[in-house]
Amino acid sequence: MQEQYRTIAREGVHETEINKSRFICSLAPAATEQEAQDFIRRVRAEHPSASHNCFAYVIGADAGLQKASDDGEPGGTAGVPMLQMLMRRDVRYAVAVVTRYFGGVKLGAGGLIRAYGGAVGEALDALGTETRRRYRLATITVDHQRAGRLENDLRATGRAVREVRYAAAVTIEVGLPEAELNAFRGWLADASAGTALLELGGETYGTL
């Protein structure tokens, strides 16, 4: 698995104009291919009179699924440079749609490649990205007396607390980088006077 990847911080739109053509880049996070396709359909519905609605998306932390479409532009001049920009920026689980309203001036193949790739790059700069890091899920079980302080200590030391459940005992689910597991065991023993139990689970990704 990838140790980390970037994704789009929030859904949004960024517009630029090149030789009288409007290039509107719509970006969104997408956890699945279905989410990406739904977003593309939504953008197309919002711009039915546009000259083109080209798209690119990357799904998977390892970029296992990649698709792009030129939507009528000359082959390789729109979707591919958009996809290349996402890959160059290490952006995953993301979809980009660039809507073009033709302004009457032809840009040529090189101009189109720069325009579509550049529209995605500018939108990423404007909307921002966030880094997600691979974590090992772990469940801490502790008594009620120590739970509140332990949770506060976890948060104060920057641990990724995901969920806290209260029952006969308190369970706290956290995300831990694999490399920190041994050190965390020692920290937890000290913080709970040896009373907390640690159970390791699967892996996931979380925001740094």
Q: Is the pLDDT of residue 196 over 70?
A: yes
Provide the residue count of the chain. Answer: 208
Mean pLDDT over residues 141-158, rounded? 92
Percent share of the chain, pLDDT over 90: 84
Mean pLDDT over residues 155-178, rounded? 90
Token pair of 174 as six digits: 């956290």
Confidence of residue 4 (pLDDT cuts 50, 70, 90): confident
Decide if 4-127 and 132-207 have a common fold.
no
> pTM of the full predicted structure?
0.76
Three-state SS sequence of the chain: CCCEEEEECCCEEEEEEECCEEEEEEEEECCCHHHHHHHHHHHHHHCCCCCEEEEEEEECCCCCEEEEECCCCCCCCCHHHHHHHHHHCCECCEEEEEEEECCCCCCHHHHHHHHHHHHHHHHHHHHCEEEEEEEEEEEEEECHHHHHHHHHHHHHCCCEEEEEEECCCEEEEEEECHHHHHHHHHHHHHHCCCCCEEEEEEEEEEEC
Confidence of residue 146 (pLDDT cuts 50, 70, 90): very high
For 31-45, how does the pLDDT look when each residue is reduced to its tens digit (9 = 90+)? Answer: 999 999 999 999 999
Confidence of residue 179 (pLDDT cuts 50, 70, 90): confident
Percent share of the chain, pLDDT over 70: 99
pLDDT at 1: 64
- pLDDT averaged over every residue in the chain: 94
3.40.50.300, 3.90.1150.30, 3.30.230.30, 2.10.25.10: which CATH number matches 4-127? 3.30.230.30
Q: Is the pLDDT of residue 184 over 60?
A: yes
Domains of the chain by residue range: 4-127, 132-207
Which fold, 132-207? Alpha-Beta Plaits (3.30.70)
Q: Is the pLDDT of residue 208 over 70?
A: no
| φ, ψ for residue 153, nearest 5 deg | -65, -40
pLDDT at 133: 86
For 82-125, how does the pLDDT look when each residue is reduced to its tens digit (9 = 90+)? Answer: 999 999 999 999 999 999 999 999 999 999 999 999 999 999 99
Q: Is the pLDDT of residue 205 over 90?
A: no
